[in-house]
Amino acid sequence: MKTPAGKECSFFFGDYYRGRDREECRLLLDHGLQWKPDLCLTCRMPGIQQANGCEDMIFTPKLFRPLLILKQQVRLETFCKKNNVRVDVPEIGCGDCVPTLNFIMVDENDTSD
């Protein structure tokens, strides 16, 4: 479902049936954090989900404020439960769960087998 920031996220839920206007982030709610629509602007989760579909990653969100005058932001800590390692770049993953792909480059004009 699209977030208020306009990106697709599987953790965002909006109930608009018959005039209802209920929105929530289930990732934050599952960790006891209060969600506000502005937090979707700073959350990396939609980009992570688009780049990496690994089901072994566990996300732990934390809310922080870089400076007192700035708005709250979402920070995600990622852990791979399959390999028991902390993931520094969740868009890529831990490196072990996703197999490497081998490509063979073939010239179109090459007639040999």
CB-based burial of residue 103 (10 Å sphere; 0-12 exposed, 13-18 middle, 19+ buried)?
Answer: exposed
Q: 64-90 burial string, b = 16+ CB within 10 Å, else e? A: eeeeeeeeebbebebbbeeeeeebeeb
pTM: 0.74
- pLDDT higher at 108 or 3: 3
pLDDT tens, residue by residue, 56-112: 899 999 999 988 888 899 999 999 998 899 999 998 888 787 665 566 666 777 666
pLDDT at position 110 is 64
The mean pLDDT of 13-21, rounded to a whole number, is 83
pLDDT at position 67 is 85
pLDDT at position 12 is 92
- pLDDT higher at 110 or 28: 28
Q: Which value, to the nearest 10 degrees, does the dihedral of the CA atoms of residues 69, 24, 11, 19 take?
A: -130
